[in-house]
Amino acid sequence: MRNNISPIVEGGLLAAVSVVLGLGATYLPIIGIAIEFFCAVPFVILTVRQGVGKGLTALIVSLMLMAMFMGPLLAARLALTINICGIILGWCIQKNFSTAKCFVATFISSVAAQTIAIIFVMAVMGINFTETQLSLMKESFDQSFQIYESMGVEKSVIEESKKQIEPAIQLISFLVPTIVVLISLINTTACYLTSKWIFQKLRFQFIEALPKFSEWRFSIFFLYLAAFAILGTYWGGTRNWNLIYVVSLNATFLAMGVGLIQGLSVLSFAADKHNFSKFARRLAFILIIISPLFLQITSCIGLFDMIFDYRKKLLS
């Protein structure tokens, strides 16, 4: 595609687009969530076409402009957690990295950016991020219980529900690293998919598509990680080794999450082999996701597939 405008004008226009998207993502209810997924796209385009230097310059300009309209903290959060991923992805595309390398590099940068953003908020605001989030969750549940009580729900039922929720909230406080990884994965996936869609519309060259989901495989490292992490969780919990317990617990959820993805991939491969309809496949995936038991079974299938390779057995 021919470029009929100067690099400076193009950079200014893309920076302006990023500011408009950032304002929409911040102030528009509901639809703002969808808009936020596109915030990194202008930086992907600019970095691919003009390099990292111009991408970082546009990031700084957009950060200053957004800070004027939405405040420095919100602007910094958007720039650090989302827009920087666009620059990393654009740089990887410019360097002709493989699709897997582009995705992994963007994901790692997103994890680092999320971590820096949390530390930045804690340093500037002087608050404990984890305690603040847990406090907000408790307040939300308390308000819900008050509504249930006003509707005539028995107090004994409400008290029993409170007893069940408190351990879950405590568990979430231990899983902040895993939550950061999950948010980073969502941001990376959104950045990749939205950029791919926009590049196709603009007829720009994009990286190759990811392999079919039914072909996804991960390293056997995650199987060993799950085994050692489960042991570490047991030892840490029974011997009150808090650090080992927290680290092992997060490692367990990380390994099981990877196993879940590979398990769903194996099931997708089986569905392809037996010509399951799209409706049946989606229904099965929904049932797996909403059932804790099926989630664990699918995760175990994925982890053991790393060593046994069930797909070869399905082909034989």
Contact call for residues 232 and 239 (beta carbons, < 8 A): no
Q: Please give the model's pTM, rounded to 2 decimal places.
A: 0.80
Q: What is the mean pLDDT of the chain?
A: 85
In the chain, where are the structural domains located? 7-126+176-202, 129-174, 213-315
Question: Does residue 1 register a pLDDT over 50?
Answer: no
Which CATH number among 1.10.357, 3.30.70, 1.50.40, 1.10.1760 corresponds to the domain 7-126+176-202? Answer: 1.10.1760
Question: Does residue 203 register a pLDDT over 70?
Answer: yes
Percent of all residues in the chain with a pLDDT value above 70, rounded to a whole number: 92
Using CA atoms, how far apart are residues 121 and 103, in angstroms rounded to an integer?
27
Question: Does residue 274 register a pLDDT over 90?
Answer: no
Using CA atoms, how far apart are residues 17 and 43, in angstroms rounded to an integer?
10
Q: Which DSSP symbol is given to 81?
A: I
Using CA atoms, how far apart are residues 191 and 43, in angstroms rounded to an integer?
10
- The residue whose two tokens read 């491969």 is 269
Residue 66, burial from CB neighbour count under 10 angstroms (0-12, 13-18, 19+): buried
**Higher per-residue pLDDT: 169 or 195:** 195
Q: Which two tokens stand for residue 98?
A: 């493989």
Question: Does residue 80 register a pLDDT over 60?
Answer: yes
Q: Encode pLDDT of 51-69 as tens digits.
A: 999 999 999 999 999 988 8
Contact call for residues 180 and 129 (beta carbons, < 8 A): no
Q: Is the dihedral of CA 299, 300, 303, 309 positive or negative?
A: negative
Instruction: Quote the pLDDT of residue 44.
Output: 94
Query: Between vectors from CA 309 to CA 303 and to CA 310, what angle results, nearest 5°?
Result: 95
Q: Confidence class of residue 82 from pLDDT cuts 50, 70 and 90?
A: confident
Instruction: Quote the pLDDT of residue 110.
Output: 92
C-alpha distance from residue 86 to each of 142, 160, 267, 290 (Å): 39, 46, 32, 32
Q: Encode pLDDT of 111-165 as tens digits.
A: 998 888 888 777 776 666 666 666 766 777 677 767 777 777 677 766 777 777 7
Q: Find the mean pLDDT for residues 284-311.
A: 92
Question: Does residue 261 register a pLDDT over 80?
Answer: yes
**Higher per-residue pLDDT: 74 or 148:** 74
Of residues 173, 186, 183, the one with CA closest to residue 137: 173
Q: Confidence class of residue 2 from pLDDT cuts 50, 70 and 90?
A: very low
Q: Encode pLDDT of 217-243 as tens digits.
A: 999 999 999 999 999 999 998 888 888
Q: Confidence class of residue 256 from pLDDT cuts 50, 70 and 90?
A: very high
Strands (E), the chain: none
